[in-house]
Amino acid sequence: MSLRLLKHPFALLAVLALAFTLAASGAARDVSSLDEVIKRVQDQQNNTTSLEADFRQEKVLKLLASPEVSTGRFVYSKPNNVLWQYDAPRRLEMLITNGTLTTYYPDLHKAESIEIKRYQDRIFKYLGASGAIDELGAYFNFTFSNRADLPHFVLDLDPKSKGIAKRVRHIKIWIDKKSYLTTKFEYTEGDGDITRYEFSNIKTNAPVAQSRFSLNLPPNTRIDAMKLQ
């Protein structure tokens, strides 16, 4: 995975998927070590066909006096369909399907399209393949915390090299001890900007209509073809 892609919203899916796929299925068992958590992630990735959740996104940027907060809905369907719907404070839809990322700005009557076929397999590998954790392990050191006085487990990922740290300084994931669902996810970019996600109403492996992954753009929408930098 090219870590330079993390500056672009669609590339966040690769690491965000790690958080989502920690959701457990069937009878819960005690998780007390990092090895057990990783094994659980790998099992879940193989068994996950769809994901849906409401999200709250908070960006802490050096150039802004206060955090920028957005809310919306995330939908994923195996093998390679993803939709981010931002409802507030500005409407925005980001759709990945058929090897293309389309970002739609309804209020501006504008859309941007980017061809991502060359990266698609790597991105969705994190959403459905057992080798994803091993690949992340090549770039990050994992630390697992299990404090008895807290209702969640915590996974911290720190970069193994200065080159990676220039792009991503830190990733942190909170996992509810009762449901084994990820409740919060945070990553710090190389420049110090922080992005946090909090999830609610998470559903796994529920049927998702294919029509969810289609943008019905009005006739007056301007569509710009972009190139991935």
CATH class of this structure's domain 3-205: mainly beta
Query: Per-block average pLDDT, block size 10, for the chain (229 residues)?
Result: 38 46 42 68 71 92 89 88 92 90 93 82 50 67 88 88 89 78 84 91 89 92 83
Residue-wise pLDDT tens digits, 119-151: 666 555 544 433 455 667 778 888 888 888 998
- Find the angle CA(117)-CA(120)-CA(123) to the nearest 5 degrees: 160
Among residues 90, 177, 80, 171, which one has the least CA distance to residue 129?
A: 80
8 A C-beta contact, residue 94 and residue 83: yes
**Residue 111 backbone phi and psi in degrees, to 5:** -140, 150
Question: For residue 175, what are the β-bridge partners?
Answer: 153, 182
**pTM for the whole structure:** 0.75
Look at residue 139 in the predicted model and tell me its pLDDT.
Answer: 83
**Residue 34 backbone phi and psi in degrees, to 5:** -60, -40
Helix H or strand E segment including 13: helix 12-20
Look at residue 18 in the predicted model and tell me its pLDDT.
Answer: 45
Strands (E), 41-107: 50-60, 68-77, 81-88, 92-97, 100-105
